[in-house]
Homo-oligomer: A and B are copies of this chain.
């Protein structure tokens, strides 16, 4: 059964491929699973029909027969569990790849989103200039720790996994800020190929 996902009719990022449906599209492309997309206006996202699917009125959602899911992490995990290619076969490697999915969403994404919130929503506040370095520093601490762990490796733990997919999609949000350039391995060959892979999915999606 072909699953249906939801995405923004008009993405708030103006088409840079940063919305959270991209992770799900990328995962579906990686495993070769065709899918349908239903585009939603901001208004429709807060209406009862969509809130029944997604209690927080966001995208993406995932519908497949009588199963309806929300949360990009849960959807990518669902796809990774049901198709080969995104989780290692051995139990310990699989548990570690899942750990990196949670690390991307729980440890790396919050300070990165805080930076985006400060830049987008608090730019006109009196405290903006003074507070920004504090928020950047919180993101930098995590980037430094992640960079130290990645070291010379291509991926976070063995072969490319759903953990790397989530991490790349989270880091992608920093591309425009220049913050990532200070950590060459986080924008090195493997991660650059992954950024490009996500961009290719985005470009293809934009054409249809």
| A interface list, Cβ under 8 A from B | 51, 55-58, 66-67, 69-74, 77-78, 92, 95-96, 98-99, 101-103, 105-107, 109-110, 113-114, 122, 125-127, 130-131, 134, 142, 145-146, 148-149
Contacts and interface: CB of A to CB of B under 8 A. Distances in A.
B127 A56 contact: no
Grouping DSSP codes into helix (H, G, I), strand (E, B) and loop, the A interface class, with mixed when no group exceeds half, is helix
B142 A106 contact: no
A96 B53 CA distance: 11
A102 B130 contact: no
Contact of A71 (B55, B69, B103, B110): B103
B96 A56 contact: no
A190 B35 CA distance: 38
A84 to B, nearest CB: 18
21 contacts: A51-B148, A51-B149, A55-B148, A56-B107, A58-B107, A69-B96, A71-B107, A72-B102, A72-B106, A73-B102, A73-B106, A74-B95, A74-B103, A77-B98, A77-B102, A78-B95, A106-B109, A109-B110, A114-B114, A126-B127, A127-B127
